Structure 1
Amino acid sequence: MPVPRTSAPPPRTLLRERAFTMLRTAIVDGTLEPGERLVDADLCAWLGVSRTPVREALAHLEKTGLVQIRPGSRTVVTPLDVRAAAEAQAVAASMHELAARTAVPLLTASHCLEMETANRAFATALTTADVEAAIAADDAFHRVFVGLAANRLLAAILDDVTPLLRRMERVRFASLVGRESVAQHARIVEFARRGDADGAAAEVRANWLTLTP
């Protein structure tokens, strides 16, 4: 069969998800700064999509607290908000605590090794002030419990609240304060290796609650 000369345009849902993902990443990594105005025409040109998927993506981002839409006025990147971050932090801590409690009984030696490897990468990234690598390694560490828990609702909630915490993590992981997490991670692995689900869950919760003073 010959290759078709033309192909159908991507479904609108895929365009919306692509726009959402790119916008969320740009907000979280600081490319789009807190308080920055978002103009539809500029976003459409950058993302290469029409206004509809852009507006749908912005509506989703508003629900997750990353943008503020003022009808008839303007859309801006949500300024850093201590209260909103604290709320997201509390939810994330509870979800990761639940993931740990569920996952520890399922943990194998290879899972513990995976977490230890991620923690070593995390420590190295902090030492070299590589914030991006630190966040990636921290994600890899906690992803072990979340993956083993296999709770789709838990994962969906974390997908919504975690981006709100990323800007906090960038500040924390760029400072010496973030190095406390290395020792906390080590304690989590030790509890998990002993099969102490309650101990691991409590330590995971404490780890997530150290993002803010």
Structure 2
Amino acid sequence: MPVPTDSLPPRGLLRDDVLARLRDAIVDGTLAPDEQLRDTELAAWLGVSRTPVREALLELARAGLVRATPGRSTVVAPLDRASVRDAQAVVAAMHALAIRDAIPRLTAEHLDAMRSANADFADAQRRGDVDGALAADERFHAVAVAACGNAAVRTVLAQYEPVLRRAERLRFASHEGAASVARHEQLIALCAAADADGAARLAEQTWQTLTIDSAPDTAGGTTRSTDEGITP
């Protein structure tokens, strides 16, 4: 039979789109902690077959956003201290590497993009716009990640950073992210001065100081950190 003329979406792109949409739904709370995830329902919601949904759920389980019990149910993983701590170590190291490698490549346009994102971040903070603040914060940090040119860094961050974005949402929602504006400004200044060591240290410290005051620990209780807890 002749090859059909209608184009099909590339399998990789479809899978990646499903993964991104499910990941975003978990991060923004559309899919709540401990909510059961049925691949048939998710496939119907997204308008796709069950195969890319199952593949996405496996990837989300590896990232710690989904908890799957063989032969039983798959649920949205609760946000706990252990998952945040584990993700922090990896994400902080990746951002430090990204900023160190990016600095020799940063242009005036890159710095302007960081300033613009920080201005939008500050504005969203003043208005109490949690989604706007999160989006601007992500744009700010994405400048160095893109400029560093390291595909492995981008891949690792795509897997583990969403765990921290869930924690960030708690802090933004409680209006505790305002101090990040000054920290962003300091990072821009270090980048403009080509201080790779100083910028890398600050980037790593920024992500390491993120805390969640009311997340349960792995023993089932809750934890309240005494760290400063500045949102990145």
Q: Normalising by structure 2, report the TM-score.
A: 0.85
C-alpha RMSD of matched pairs (Å) = 1.7
Structure 2 match to 1:139:
138
By how many angstroms is 1:200 displaced?
1.1
Which protein is richer in helix relative to its size?
A: 1
Structure 2 match to 1:43:
42
Structure 1 match to 2:69:
70
Structure 1 match to 2:205:
206
- Aligned ranges for residues 40-189 of structure 1 at < 5 Å? 40-189=39-188
By how many angstroms is 1:170 displaced?
0.5
Amino acid at match of 2:143: V
SS in 2 for 1:68: strand
User: What is the alpha-carbon distance in structure 2 between the residues aligned to residue 111 and residue 16 of structure 1?
Assistant: 31
Amino acid at match of 1:117: S
By how many angstroms is 1:50 displaced?
2.1
Amino acid at match of 2:103: V
Amino acid at match of 1:115: M
Identity of aligned residues (%): 50
Amino acid at match of 1:201: A
Amino acid at match of 1:185: H
My pick for the range that moved more, 48-57 or 195-204, is: 48-57
- Aligned ranges for residues 10-25 of structure 1 at < 5 Å? 10-25=9-24
The runs of 4+ residues in structure 1 deviating greater than 4 Å are none
Structure 2 gap ranges (5+)? 212-226, 228-232
User: What is the alpha-carbon distance in structure 2 between the residues aligned to residue 108 and residue 44 of structure 1?
Assistant: 43
Amino acid at match of 2:127: T
* Residue deviations 1:182-208 (CA, integer Å, cap 9, x gap): 111111111111111111111111211
SS in 2 for 1:178: coil
User: What is the alpha-carbon distance in structure 2 between the residues aligned to residue 49 and residue 73 of structure 1?
Assistant: 23
SS in 2 for 1:189: helix
By how many angstroms is 1:174 displaced?
2.0
Structure 1 gap ranges (5+)? none
Amino acid at match of 1:148: A
